[in-house]
Amino acid sequence: MARKTWTNLLMYGMIILASLFLIFFVGRELNPETNTENMIITNNGLAHFSKWMDIAGGVRLTYNIDLSKYAQVYTDEQELFQVTKGVEDIILQNIDKRVSALGVSDYSSYIQSLDDGKYVVIELWWVSDLDQAKEIIGKTVELEFKLPYEGNGEDQKVSRQLFAEEILKDVVANPSTFQLEALANQWDNVVYHTYSGVSLEDLPNFYQTNPGLLEEREVGSVIPSLTQGNYGTELLIIAWNPQNVTLEWNIITKWNGSRTVTNEDGTSNKVYDLEDIAVSNSPAWTLATDPITGDLLNGAFFKFASISSSQTGQPVAVINFDEKGKEIFCNITEVIVGKQLAIFIWGELVTSPVIREKICGWSAQIDGQFTPESAKALVDDLNEGALPAPLILAQEEKVSPVLGEKALSWAILAAWIGLALIYAFMIFLYGFRQGSVAILTLVSFIIVLLGITKLFRYSFSLSGIAAILLSLGMGVDANVLIYERIREERDNGLTWFEAIEEGYKKSYSAIRDGNVTTLMIAMLLFFMGTNVFKWFGTMMMVNILLTLGVIVPLTRGLLHKFYEKE
């Protein structure tokens, strides 16, 4: 029995040490390239605990979902419910993409029913710029249609230079994304080159006529100015430009160093390591407009996308327009037969089919040699890129962290006072050893709980902290039940070892049943409550499981060690 007790205590000791390491030395860092968080080792782990909006502050945006067009089409209530549920799911998925553009990982979005209306509520903590949040999240349509650009670039010089300057700004701020930035825009006549160990005469003429670009500077740095000129003939083959013309390019250069090398004949020369991004003054695509009315074809006329089959049975994606969109699409396709029509979502090229004939129906078929899986993926992109229902901003609120920070400080103080009072109370009733066991199990419970919250990135809220404080009382209640049973067994003449075992066995069912009934209430709060209740319910469920998994068995093991000599 002694060996088993030591084994159990050693196991709990390792869990506690691992939790302490998570608390004090583990944090999370946002990767700006992927908008995902990665665990890191830090000497300030306490600062990396996640806090909910009522503590950290942030913004809350409430949008009314306009479902009126669906109510006009679907008269059956059950069918309308299923359709609107799908619309709500797409909106939440789309909002997740938009929030990631803010570089925010702590946020919550949910659908709320109020006064026979549907609302989507977005809560962003650690965000103070309300205008930025509204600008990104509030965009209703991000679907664009474009045609191949057929000009010579003269009319696009200013806009393309501004486009190149935006790329330059990004790569100067973060040179490690240099190649990724180029590849992300390669569909729009943006070309990436890399040169390693290349002599001056082998570099493009552009560098030979701009010697200032080859001056020594910090390795890995991006030259913070845009250079314009004729790069070279190799970049002049542009798929969407049938004219073989010389184009001007906006060049962004990254300096990777230079060195002197010795040739086989004993001579030496200087070689260079460079990367560059070339942005043509001639774009690949231009916005599609009605040749008769001049109306822009975009997501404002998009209804939804679906999967269908071609005459040969192959899966195709179908875009459905409204009445106005049907007319614009018909006029455009009439003049571009044999040419491409590109579809962009969130600024990214999704597909660019060739128009085979004038299309004047309600829908446009995209035949891209799809598999059923790829056709579904494209349809999902289309439906998620253009929101299936307009969002109308109904309320905006900026939440100050001041009150939450004060409440958090008071809650921490209350926890310390509570532990001290519990310790004094347990010593008064059961003596020093049993009182010490009670406080050790509670402290272990808190340490493991904090480690779990750090590991699974639970965001602390005031309601969650209230659940933790309540759980301290529930945890000591388990100690009281065990101690009272032990006292009864001691009064019956049993030894300390026998009394601890019998007291533990006889009290466990009462402790278990009491916690299970509370667990049921916590689950109801989690699955059926609002956000505040969800936070409280989540923490209560974790606390109850830790009470049964840490406090109760650890109390038994520590009592055996404290009374081992007796």
Helix, strand, coil content of the chain in percent (nearest 5): 50, 25, 25
Q: Which two tokens stand for residue 312?
A: 């040969």
From CA 137, how far away is CA 99, in angstroms rounded?
7
Block residue for tokens 């600008």? 135
Tens digits of pLDDT across the chain (566 residues): 556 667 778 888 898 999 999 889 988 776 655 556 678 888 888 877 877 777 777 778 888 887 776 675 566 788 778 778 877 887 887 777 677 655 555 677 888 888 778 898 888 776 656 676 676 676 655 567 888 888 777 778 888 888 899 899 999 999 998 998 888 888 788 888 899 999 988 888 788 888 888 888 999 999 998 888 777 654 443 444 444 445 678 889 999 999 998 887 878 889 999 999 988 888 888 888 888 877 777 665 777 788 888 777 788 888 788 788 888 888 998 888 888 888 876 667 777 878 888 888 767 776 667 788 888 877 776 665 566 667 788 888 877 766 666 777 887 888 888 889 888 988 998 889 898 988 999 899 889 988 998 888 777 777 788 888 888 888 888 889 999 999 998 888 888 888 888 888 888 888 888 889 888 988 888 777 666 677 788 888 888 888 888 888 888 888 888 887 76
- What pLDDT does 69 receive? 61
The total number of residues shown for the chain amounts to 566
- What pLDDT does 314 receive? 81
Q: Which two tokens stand for residue 506?
A: 């006889």
Give yes or no for a contact between 445 and 547, defined as CB atoms under 8 angstroms apart. yes
Block residue for tokens 């249609």? 145
**Third-level CATH fold of 288-386:** Gyrase A; domain 2 (3.30.1360)
> What DSSP character marks residue 248?
-
Burial classification of residue 267, based on how many CB atoms lie within 10 Å of its CB (0-12 exposed, 13-18 middle, 19 or more buried): exposed
Instruction: Domain ranges for the chain, please list them.
Output: 58-140+392-398, 154-284, 288-386, 401-562
- What pLDDT does 531 receive? 61
Give yes or no for a contact between 390 and 94, defined as CB atoms under 8 angstroms apart. no
- Residues in contact with 333: Cβ distance below 8 Å, sequence separation at least 6, in sequence order: 341, 355, 357, 358, 359, 360, 364
Count of H-run helices and E-run strands, the chain? 16, 18
Computed over its alpha carbons, how large is the radius of gyration of the chain? 33
- What pLDDT does 5 receive? 67
- Fold agreement (288-386, 401-562): no
Burial classification of residue 249, based on how many CB atoms lie within 10 Å of its CB (0-12 exposed, 13-18 middle, 19 or more buried): buried
> What DSSP character marks residue 189?
S
Burial classification of residue 522, based on how many CB atoms lie within 10 Å of its CB (0-12 exposed, 13-18 middle, 19 or more buried): buried
**Third-level CATH fold of 58-140+392-398:** Alpha-Beta Plaits (3.30.70)
- Phi, psi angles (nearest 5°) of residue 231: -70, -50
Please tell me the class of the 401-562 domain.
mainly alpha
Block residue for tokens 């890191």? 40
- Residues in contact with 11: Cβ distance below 8 Å, sequence separation at least 6, in sequence order: none
Residue type (1 letter), 80: L
